[in-house]
């Protein structure tokens, strides 16, 4: 039972990553870490290459987390070890 909860949490994190990507795509600004003490937020107008790079990272990582969670719940992949 705890394994299913962990996998559901991983899928929830994946959905959160996709939500951040969607909101960033709609607004044109994505959070992408920090540059020194100030946050780094590339936008579509000023830095389109960085914006699309981080958008691709958010989408790929979110989908990867969802697929990992679904595979583990269905028994198609290796279960995630709990420590």
Q: Give the range of the structural domain holding residue 17, as residue numbers without chain letter.
A: 2-74
Question: Which residues is 29 bridged to in the sheet?
Answer: 43
Split into its structural domains, the chain has a count of 1
Q: What is the mean pLDDT of the chain?
A: 89
- Domain annotation covers residue 52: yes
Q: What mean pLDDT comes out for the span 17-32?
A: 94
- Domain annotation covers residue 79: no
- Domain annotation covers residue 9: yes
- Domain annotation covers residue 68: yes
At 77 the pLDDT is 74
Q: What mean pLDDT comes out for the span 45-49?
A: 92
Is residue 53 over pLDDT 90? yes
At 48 the pLDDT is 93
- Domain annotation covers residue 16: yes
Phi, psi of 45 (to 5 degrees): -80, -45
pTM of the model: 0.83
């Amino acid at each position: 039972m705890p394994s299913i909860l962990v996998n559901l949490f991983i899928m929830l994190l994946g959905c959160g990553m996709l939500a951040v990507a969607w909101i960033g795509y709609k607004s044109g600004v994505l959070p992408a870490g920090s540059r020194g003490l100030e946050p780094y937020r590339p936008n579509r107008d000023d830095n389109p290459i960085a914006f699309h790079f981080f958008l691709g990272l958010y989408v790929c990582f979110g989908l990867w987390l969802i697929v990992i969670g679904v595979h583990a719940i269905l028994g198609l992949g290796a279960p995630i070890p709990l420590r």
